Chain A
Amino acid sequence: MSETVATQVQTFTYDEPHPHAFTRGEVGWLPWLEPLPVDELTDRHYDGLVDRARASSDYFRLLARDPEILRARTLVDKDIFYNTAQGLPRAERELAAAAASRVNGCVFCASVHARFAAHFSKSPEFVDALLADGVKADLGERWDAITDAAAALTATPIAFGPAHVTRLRATGLDELEIADVIHGAAFFNWANRLMLSLGRPVAPPDQA
């Protein structure tokens, strides 16, 4: 019976334009599968969403179909990126996220985290170089060490090794900051795979 029901379900299709390339513009995202309707959200789903405002997002209401993993994902995400009392500055956590997204090819994730990296670093020109030229772009030694480490961690098989740690340390990162690079890049190997596989990016309104 479940098979009968399942074969009736179809993925959504859209006519909206794709982004042209990586960009700091406001890339949109459309789900290929049906998010939970807002009027079907229960306390268990809101618990998974963590922030009630996320109920307005198709992406989070689609993920709310499995609330327990969404909740843990959301809390680990927030701690890795927003808990900046100690450790790596926010700009460089966002840089690691943008670099991982650039390597995997997630135009949506790269746009969001490139905007954050540009905002917090006040160096939009370097962020744009990463988007345009990829992780081989020359961003200065400290940022190159971070993007190189993020890329190595994003490769399959995983290519991160002692030389990456040594290089990060040589540019002034301590162990906690290196662990923050590891977590930030690794987390985007989770986020990119969700965003890329459950829906598609849409060109920013001013670039369509």
Chain B
Amino acid sequence: MTTPTVDVVDTLTGAAPDGVVAAVRSIRPVTREQLQASYDALFDPVDDAEFSLTERLLVAAFATGLTGADATADLYAERAADADAGAASVIASLVAEAGTAGPFGRYREEGLVGESADGRRFSVAEGARTQLGDRLAAALEHTHLLVYRPREAADAALQRLLDAGWTVSGIVTLSQLVAFLAFQQRVVAGLRVLEEVGA
């Protein structure tokens, strides 16, 4: 793996060298290093045979685009476009049509059924599916589930990925990717607010 010279979260927060975010991050060097190491593990992988880097970037553009139009989403949209401009353009239009609010979903736990909330579900339409292929379309549908209604995740959702050609290890990395991005995008969003409010 390459040694990064740029810390992605520093870049995305736009933190000033003498600002609040730089100060708090300097007190948490392990968090800072391992957050970057997580990004490197996913986007500069030792082995991408079961989930290619291009697929990772396309899924990342979709996941972060659904979560919000912010600096993090812009980064992955750009990286996805560099990797596969055609597919990235299809995904950008899917982001525009598939956006909703979360977290929502039905509870399986009997005592929580009263808290179940409904919302917009998503499946890739035929035209986009033809352009992206069944494998990537299945990953995007799973991503929409994880972004907005993780409490509804079920074995059937994993079976759909297996049936679309995903291996067990590929599904683990896909899950890590979408889940990590939920973290990274929120750290960036939170730290940007902290920087903006100031000391």
Report the stretch among B89-97, B123-131, B169-177 that lies at the interface.
B169-177
Residue of B whose beta carbon sits closest to that of A186: B186
Q: Is A155 an interface residue (CB 8 A)?
A: yes
Q: Interface size for chain A: under 10, 10 to 19, 20 to 34, or 35 or more residues?
A: 35 or more
Q: Are B34 and A63 in contact (CB under 8 A)?
A: no
Question: Are A20 and B163 in contact (CB-based, < 8 A)?
Answer: no
Select one of B20, B66, B112, B178 contacting A21, CB under 8 A. Answer: B112
Chain B, interface residues (CB within 8 Å), range: 35 or more
Q: Whose C-beta in chain B lies nearest to the C-beta of A12?
A: B155
With A76-B38, A156-B68 as known contacts, state yes or no: A194 contacts B162, CB within 8 Å: no
Q: Is B108 an interface residue (CB 8 A)?
A: yes
CA distance A196 to B37 in the complex (A): 24
Residues of B within 8 A of A80 (CB): 31
Cα–Cα distance between A153 and B156 once the two chains are bound (Å): 29
Which residue of the partner chain, among B46, B148, B190, contacts A68 with CB atoms under 8 Å?
B46
Contacts of B172 in A (CB 8 A): 33, 62-63, 65-66, 198
Interchain Cβ contacts under 8 Å between A and B, 26 examples: A6-B162, A6-B165, A9-B162, A18-B108, A65-B169, A66-B41, A72-B41, A79-B28, A87-B28, A105-B112, A153-B190, A155-B101, A156-B103, A165-B194, A166-B197, A175-B194, A179-B24, A183-B28, A183-B187, A185-B186, A196-B151, A197-B157, A197-B158, A198-B172, A198-B175, A200-B154
Give B residues with C-beta under 8 Å from A.
20-21, 23-25, 27-28, 30-31, 34-35, 37-38, 40-42, 45-46, 66-68, 70, 101-103, 105, 107-112, 115, 145-148, 150-151, 153-159, 162-163, 165-169, 171-173, 175-176, 178-180, 182-183, 185-187, 189-191, 193-194, 196-197, 199
Please give 13 more A-B residue pairs, beta carbons under 8 A apart, in addition to A155-B103, A175-B23, A198-B172: A6-B165, A13-B155, A21-B109, A32-B158, A72-B35, A156-B67, A156-B101, A158-B68, A158-B70, A162-B197, A176-B24, A194-B175, A197-B157
